[in-house]
Structure 1
Amino acid sequence: MAELDVVAWVHARDGRMLAVRSRGRDLLYLPGGKREPGEDDWTAVSREVREELGVELDRPSFRPLGVLTAAAHDQPAFARVRMACFASGHTGEFRPAGEIDELRYVGPADRALLAPASQAAWDLAAGHGMLRRPAR
C-alpha cells in the first residue's frame, strides 16, 4: 500500500480548529489536499483552500507547523497519509465549495469527529498553542 502525500491548512479561532466534511465522507478533515504536479507547498495549500472555502491565504503569514503521518481514512489505495500542515492568515468569508458540504469549528469534545490525520493535526496545533487542550 502506498502513502498519500497531502498538504493541509490549520486555522484556529477561539481555541477551536476549522474542519470540513467532503461529500460522502463520514469524518471531518482539514482544508487541503493533494499537490498538482510541480506545485510547491504554498501553491498547493492556497489553491486547495481557495477551491474548498473560497478564501485567499495570506502569503506573508504562511508558516509550516510540521509534517505528520497517520492511518489513511476512507482511502482504499493508501494505508497511510503524510500530511504537511501550515498556518496562515486569510482574507474573505468562508463558503463551502467544490466537494465540501460542511465546515465547522472543532473543540476538544469534538476531536473524535476528525479523521486520524486530522486528529494528529489537532495535537500538532495544540502543541503550537493554537487550540484549547482537553481537560484531564
Structure 2
Amino acid sequence: MKEIDKIALIEIKNRQILHVRSKGKLKFYLPGGKREASETDEQTLTRELHEELSININTNTIKYLGTFKAPADGKADGVLVKITCYTAEYTGNLKPANEIEELRWLNNSNLDIISEASKKIFEFLKQKGEID
C-alpha cells in the first residue's frame, strides 16, 4: 500500500481550524506539505508554511499534536496520506502564496469541503474539546 508522507500545521482560532485550497482544487487541506529529501519534520513545516502562507515558524514553539492516516484525495484506491501534525507560533500575516489560492477558517459544518484526513483531525480535536 502506498503512503504519502505529509507534515501539517494545526492552527485553531475561535474554535475553527485554518485550511488552505490549492489552485485548481476543490477540497481544503491543512497547511503544510511533503517532505523533501532528508528534511526533518521541523524543516518541512518551516519551509512549507513560508512557501504557502508567507509566515515564519518559530521553531522553538513547535509541538507534536498527532499523526493521522486516511485515503488520499484524488489518488487511486489503496493510496493513503499520513499527516504528522504540529502546532507552532509564527510571525507574519497569513496570506495565500505560490500554489495556494485561498485560506479559510473551517469548522464541523464544513465537512463536505475538506479532505478525509482533515475529517479525522476534526474528530480528534472535537473529542479534545478544542473545536465544536
Distance 1:84 1:106 in 2: 19
TM-score (ref. length: structure 2): 0.92
In structure 2, the partner of 1:5 is 5
Aligned to 1:49: 49
Runs of 4+ in structure 1 over 6 Å off: none
Q: Structure 2 matches for 1:17-96, cutoff 5 A?
A: 17-76=17-76, 79-96=79-96
Contact 2:19 2:103 survives alignment (8 Å): yes
Structure 2, unpaired ranges of 5+: none
Q: RMSD of the alignment, in Å?
A: 1.6
Residues 78 and 57 (structure 1 numbering): CA distance in 2 closer, same or farther, change over 3 Å?
farther
| Number of residues of Structure 1 aligned to a counterpart in Structure 2 | 132
State the percentage of identical aligned residues: 32
Q: Which runs of 5+ in 1 are unaligned?
A: none
Q: C-alpha displacement at 1:78, in angstroms?
A: 6.5
- TM-score, normalising length: structure 1: 0.90
Return the alpha-carbon distance in structure 2 between the equivalents of residues 25 and 52 of structure 1: 15
Post-superposition shift, 1:77? 8.7
- Secondary structure in structure 2 of the residue aligned to 1:123: helix
Distance 1:30 1:78 in 2: 21
Find the residue that maps to 2:94 and give its secondary structure: coil
